[in-house]
């Protein structure tokens, strides 16, 4: 390779790089006048909304839907401040937050699961809280066999864990609890340990025959009771906006509430909204 050919190859590479980067920014600039919205909020709702956005983009390819997280609190506050077009929340709005327009897109029940060999079929909310706080430590205290309770939980930061703790009124979880990183891992643990108790999204466990879903305060965990609000441990998935949504935001929310959108909700193991 001569001096000259090395230099000319390098020059060619640099030139190509410049041209290609120029092309990309050109495309982005012409896209600016297309529609785009910003969504943020609950980490529990986020995966579902990302699926819905991907499906929505198939019918409207020019839409840009930017989805970020931050938690339900952040989503609600951002919507109130008008910083985002839509906020995602996995809890009901408080009274002073009701100035927002809210659209329920799905319901998520959190089932309490036991090993199928465990004779216990029901727990009161109080007992459930005490078990997870580490105050009740043996199954015989709640009417089961004599055995130390293995408490299984999700990791800190998990939306399911946050919702579960809030809904049963627990501040600090027992530090003896076994932490697993996913719904699947929780289910596997409960299936193999006869003395364990765990919680997971209802949609993920409803068809599982190796586990037992128990009732809470006498209310069975099923679609009907979750919809009616009788099953206490459930949370709504909400999209909230500052004013009545228009343009792309309205179109996207309409899509989510349509049959097609609700189909995707169900495929992701959440409960559709009742019409």
The residue ranges that bind another protein (CB under 8 A) are: 1, 3, 6, 43, 69-71, 148, 150, 155-159, 162, 165, 171-172, 175-181, 185, 188-189, 192-193, 195-196
Minimum CB separation of residue 1 from another protein in Å reads: 6
> Which is nearer to another protein, 115 or 241 (by Cβ)?
115
> Which is nearer to another protein, 71 or 236 (by Cβ)?
71
- Three-state DSSP state, 133: helix
What stretches of the chain adopt beta strand conformation (E)? 36-41, 64-70, 86-89, 101-115, 122-123, 150-154, 178-180, 196-201, 211-213, 215-216, 234-241
Structure tokens at 230: 């009788």
> Which is nearer to another protein, 18 or 148 (by Cβ)?
148
- Phi and psi dihedrals of 103, rounded to 5? -130, 115
Minimum CB separation of residue 260 from another protein in Å reads: 29
Spatial contact of 79 and 37, defined as CB atoms under 8 Å apart: no
> Which is nearer to another protein, 130 or 272 (by Cβ)?
130
Minimum CB separation of residue 105 from another protein in Å reads: 21
Minimum CB separation of residue 204 from another protein in Å reads: 17
- Mutual orientation of helices 247-257 and 45-59 as an angle, nearest 10°? 110
Structure tokens at 222: 């099923």
> Which is nearer to another protein, 137 or 225 (by Cβ)?
137
Nearest-angstrom CA–CA distance, 110 and 165:
11
Minimum CB separation of residue 241 from another protein in Å reads: 23
> Which is nearer to another protein, 79 or 248 (by Cβ)?
79
Minimum CB separation of residue 208 from another protein in Å reads: 17
Residue 66, CA distances (Å) to 76, 126, 257 in order: 16, 41, 19
Nearest-angstrom CA–CA distance, 36 and 212:
45
């Amino acid at each position: 390779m001569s001096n000259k050919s090395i230099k000319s190859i390098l020059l060619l590479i640099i030139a190509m790089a410049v041209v290609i980067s120029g092309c990309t920014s050109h495309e982005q600039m012409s896209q600016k006048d297309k529609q785009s919205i910003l969504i943020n909020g609950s980490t529990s709702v986020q995966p579902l909304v990302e699926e819905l956005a991907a499906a929505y983009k198939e019918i409207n390819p020019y839409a840009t839907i930017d989805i970020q997280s931050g938690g339900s609190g952040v989503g609600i506050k951002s919507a109130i401040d008008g910083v985002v077009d839509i906020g995602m929340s996995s809890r009901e709005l408080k009274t002073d937050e009701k100035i927002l327009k809210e659209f329920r897109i799905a319901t998520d029940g959190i089932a309490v699961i036991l090993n199928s060999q465990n004779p216990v079929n029901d727990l009161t909310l109080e007992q459930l809280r005490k078990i997870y706080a580490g105050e009740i430590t043996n199954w015989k205290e709640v009417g089961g066999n004599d055995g130390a309770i293995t408490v299984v939980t999700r990791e800190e930061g998990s939306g399911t864990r946050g919702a579960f703790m809030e809904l049963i009124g627990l501040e600090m979880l027992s530090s003896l609890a076994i932490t697993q990183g996913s719904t699947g891992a929780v289910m596997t643990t409960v299936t193999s340990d006869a003395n364990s108790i765990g919680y997971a999204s209802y949609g993920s466990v409803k068809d599982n025959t190796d586990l037992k879903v128990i009732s809470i305060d006498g209310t069975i965990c099923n679609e009907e009771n979750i919809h009616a609000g009788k099953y206490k441990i459930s949370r709504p998935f909400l999209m909230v906006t500052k004013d009545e949504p228009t343009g792309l935001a309205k179109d996207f929310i309409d899509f989510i509430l349509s049959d097609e959108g609700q189909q995707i909700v169900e495929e992701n193991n959440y409960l559709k909204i009742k019409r």
